[in-house]
Amino acid sequence: MTQLKGKVALITGASRGIGRATAKLFAHEGARIVGGARNENDLTSLVSEIRAAGGEAVAISGDVADETFAKALVDCARDTFGGLDIAMNNAGTLGDLCALPDMTADNWHHTMAVNLDSGFLGAKYQIPAMLARGGGSLIFTSSFVGYTTGMPGMSAYAASKAGLVGLALNLASEFAGQGLRVNAMLPGGTDTQMAREVASTPEIEDYVRNLHALKRTASPDEIAQTALFLASDASSFTTGHAMIVDGGFSIHRA
């Protein structure tokens, strides 16, 4: 399948979880991948897997809260593959899980930097590169937490992820006339290393599963399919949308 044939896609948080699954799916669909994350070893194995399957990929390790890293990723897309068509700002952190009165300012600012500031920094360099190609698709990985629900101990995470929705909607308004579509993707519970930090016992895992109408959590591959929809021409009339992909968590209260 080649829904993204000829496209260049940049994905942050590409080393694990949703980002890794999306990078592999996009490559399978014909995109040339630029991956970014902190863990160099995981990125190396990702690139090897994509190339072994016949795809094209490069990766750079770094901190998404660092503006020089945001620029370096876009420069890499231009220098290696000639430009940029798709960008998925996906890297994130839970931060410390605690009640707000017990939260340190350092934790608040770190969570905001990784989850929200990184979206600003990424978009700052990604948008001009995509506009130079006549437009493209810009995706932010937000969360249902902070949008349709709240969870104890996750105030910094919720606020940062809600901020990404606002950023996506505003950028969609600013750049729609130039061929750039901007959307936020809001996954529900997904079987990732980060999610396991919240659901840290079998009892909590079972509780979280039952909060979803589908009575289960998602695999990263399932969420990657939604990212593919937003990246591809299948969503050519979709912009400024907060797309909830939460297995019915937001409507299930029984």
Closest-CA residue to 138 (of 4, 230, 12, 23): 230
> What is the model's pLDDT at position 205?
77
Q: Which residues contact 153 (CB under 8 A, 6 or more apart)?
A: 97, 98, 99
Question: Rounded to the nearest 10 degrees, how much is the dihedral formed by the CA atoms of 176, 181, 182, 183?
Answer: 130
pTM passes above 0.75: yes
- Is 159:112 a contact under the CB 8 Å cutoff? yes
**Collapsing DSSP states into helix, strand and coil, what is residue 27?**
helix
Determine whether 125 is an active site residue. Answer: no
Residue 27: both structure tokens together? 């490559």
Cα distances (angstroms) measured from residue 103 to each of 157, 169, 194: 12, 29, 19
Catalytic residue among 125, 147, 157, 207: 157
Provide the pLDDT for residue 114. 98
How high is the pLDDT of residue 194? 73
Per-residue pLDDT of the chain in tens (254 residues, 90 and over written 9): 699 999 999 999 999 999 999 999 999 999 999 999 999 999 999 999 999 999 999 999 999 999 999 999 999 999 999 999 999 999 999 999 999 999 999 999 999 999 999 999 999 999 999 999 999 999 999 999 999 988 899 999 999 999 999 999 999 999 999 999 999 999 988 887 776 666 667 777 787 777 787 888 889 999 999 999 999 999 999 999 999 998 888 886 65
Nearest to 191 by CA among 161, 212, 169: 212
Q: What is 8-251's CATH number, 3.40.50.720, 3.30.70.260, 3.40.50.300, 3.40.50.280? A: 3.40.50.720
Q: Domain ranges for the chain, please list them.
A: 8-251
Q: Do residues 87 and 130 lie in contact, with contact meaning Cβ atoms separated by under 8 Å?
A: yes
Look at residue 252 in the predicted model and tell me its pLDDT.
Answer: 66
